[in-house]
Each structure stands twice: as C-alpha cells, then as structure tokens.
Structure 1
Amino acid sequence: MNTLHKKFRKNLLAWLVLIPLFFGMQLFANRDLASGTPPAIQGTTLDGQTFPGLATLPKPAVLYFWASWCPVCRGMQGGIQELARDMPLLGIAMQSGDAAEVAQYMKQAGFDIPTVIDASGDIGKAFGLRGVPAVFVLGTDGNIRYASAGYTTALGVRLRYWLAGL
C-alpha cells in the first residue's frame, strides 16, 4: 500500500507540473494571434479568382492556415477536410507557392478544401502567425472567437465552432 501511495503522489506531482506547463506554452504560442475583428484577406483562390472577402463566408466559420511543406499540417488534413464538409471553412495556403503549385500539391495529397493563396505570407502576418498550422474560428458576428497555433484536433475545432455559434 505504501508503494502505491508513493506512485500516486509521484504521478500527481508530475501532472501538477505538466498541465500548467502545457497551458502556459499554449498561451505563449498564441500570444500574438489576431483577436476581435479579423484582418482583411486579400488574395486569389485556387482557380485564380480574387477572394471576395470574409464577409461572404457564412458565420460561424473556420479559417485554417496551412502550408504544403508543413508535416503537422499534413497530419491535420484528413480532419480539416472532414470539417469542411460540415461547416464553412476557408484554407489559407501560406508560403506554398502560386495557385498552380498549391493546386498540384492538394491534388496529390487528396486534400480538397476552399483555399486562398498566401504566397508571400502577408495574410498570415496580419493574423499574427509565426508558423502553421493555425485555426481561427469566427463567431456569428464575424469576429474571431477562438484562435490557436499548432496541432488542433478536428474535435477541438468542431467544439470551438459549436461554441462560436451560440
């Protein structure tokens, strides 16, 4: 019994350190992300058309910043594509080449979501991004309700989307 008690105390102590550390790292990683009114998105879509702006998206909506060279983004693609079938979702391909290069990558990867090209990374910079992937959830009023950088599960995005619609 004494050994079990010691293991429990040791594990509890580890969790008491790791949980605040995890959330502290999340706060640090997300500290510069845009909030409130989202920056304008000016760019072209995969078919070369000018993106008409965020006002045209039904709300709530999800903005997913990704890159073809990002292994974490590749790990999220299946979940993001599933989400795009169920909710308004716009992908922003950061620093992944021009529309033809992004379209070729998406075709090879079997990744099919509405996408705006951000070849220079300027859209991402306006949203405060230092890297990808990143997810922004817009509420019914069009404002950013949730923002997160790094890997996010489809369930996590789905929950934030649901909360943004309340």
Structure 2
Amino acid sequence: MSKRLGKLIKEAFITLLIGVAVMTAYNVYLQKDMPSGMAPELRAMPINGEEVDLYTLSEQKPVLLYFWASWCRVCHWVSPAVSDLSEDYQVVTVALASGSNERVAKYLNAKDLHFPVINDLKGSISKTWNVSVTPSIYVIRKGEIESITTGYTSKAGMLARLWMNR
C-alpha cells in the first residue's frame, strides 16, 4: 500500500511541475508583445476617484496596474486580492470591455471591490499597453515597468512584486 501511495505522490508532483512549466511558458508567450522599459503614459479619470497620472504616482512608491474585466473568470479570483492590496498600496485598475461606468460601478459594489477603476470603454488603453489577456498585472516604479504577470496571481505574489520594487 505504501509503494502505491509513494508512486501516486511522485506522479502528482511530476504532473504539477509540468503544469507549472506549461503555465510559465504560456505567460512568457503572452507577454512578448507587452511593453517593457518606460511605461506608456496613463493619465485618466477613474469612475470612482480623482484623476490618475501613473508617472506621478510611481515616483515615490511602486504602483500595481491591474487590467481586468467583469466577464473574466480568473479576475473573479484575483480582484479581491487586488482590492485588499489597494488599502495599503498604490493600485490603479483598468476595466476592459465591461460596459458603462454605471455597470462597472454596480459590479464593484456587488463584488465588494474597492479600487480605483479607469473604464476603458473603447479599448484604447489596453491597445496602448498591448494587453491581450485578462488579468494582466504590471508593477510600475518611477515610470518604468518593473514586472508583468498575466493570468492568475495570488495576493502573496503581487505583494512580493510590490515589495521587491519599493
């Protein structure tokens, strides 16, 4: 019995490693067209706050820039962590193809999410940033893109990226 259990654990571990390798390779592929170096300009009015100027915000502390959508299933898992982080860190979010400002505001309220949201109604911001997948998460420091992550990311993963770029 213990040999079977050991074999099962070994196979599960190998499967997990293969899965992580495939996900990492896919994320690297998705990021190939995303900007690096200086961040594209982002100055806009969130639907629930004051005007955001990404360069100014990122001068003293890193900014977590989160591209998401109300219809994105992975974003349903990531958004609460982003909302939690927004209490102590600089967070700017961009909603993609999620409807009118009123619809986005209702979604935020229904999901109890509390972060500034720029509604990218026409897709111009996501096009400038070459965002092709949601969620996409950038860490910006002094106007420079320090980190890019696509797909699922844990709160601890986002926190680590922010901490490394403080």
- The TM-score normalised by the length of structure 1 is 0.83
**Moved >6 Å (runs of 4+):** none
Report percent identity of matched pairs.
28
| CA displacement, residues 31-86 of structure 1 (integer Å, 9 cap, x when unaligned) | 2222111111243311486x342123142110011111112111112211110011
2:96 match:
94
Structure 1 counterpart of 2:25, one-letter code: G
Structure 1 counterpart of 2:148, one-letter code: A
Unaligned runs of 5+ in 2: none
Where in structure 2 are the equivalents of 1:29-108 lying within 5 Å?
29-47=30-48, 51-58=51-58, 59-108=61-110
CA distance in 2, matches of 1:117, 1:15: 37
| CA displacement, residues 73-115 of structure 1 (integer Å, 9 cap, x when unaligned) | 1111221111001100011111112222211221122111111
Among 99, 120, 123, the residue aligned to 2:122: 120
Say which SS state the counterpart of residue 161 (structure 1) adopts. helix
CA distance in 2, matches of 1:42, 1:149: 22
Q: How many residues align?
A: 163
Residues 89/15 of structure 1: CA separation in 2 closer, same or farther (3 Å cut): closer
Unaligned runs of 5+ in 1: none
CA distance in 2, matches of 1:153, 1:28: 20
- Return 15-24 or 107-116, whichever deviates more: 15-24
CA distance in 2, matches of 1:134, 1:21: 18
Residues 18/112 of structure 1: CA separation in 2 closer, same or farther (3 Å cut): closer
Compute the displacement of 1:152 (Å): 0.8
Compute the displacement of 1:131 (Å): 2.1
Compute the displacement of 1:22 (Å): 3.1
Q: Does the aligned pair in 1 maintain the 2:68–2:136 contact within 8 Å?
A: yes
CA distance in 2, matches of 1:52, 1:111: 18
Structure that is richer in strand per residue: 2
Superposition RMSD in Å: 2.6
Say which SS state the counterpart of residue 85 (structure 1) adopts. coil
- Return 10-19 or 99-108, whichever deviates more: 10-19
Q: Does the aligned pair in 2 maintain the 1:90–1:113 contact within 8 Å?
A: yes
| CA displacement, residues 3-47 of structure 1 (integer Å, 9 cap, x when unaligned) | 57x938756765664443332222112222221111112433114
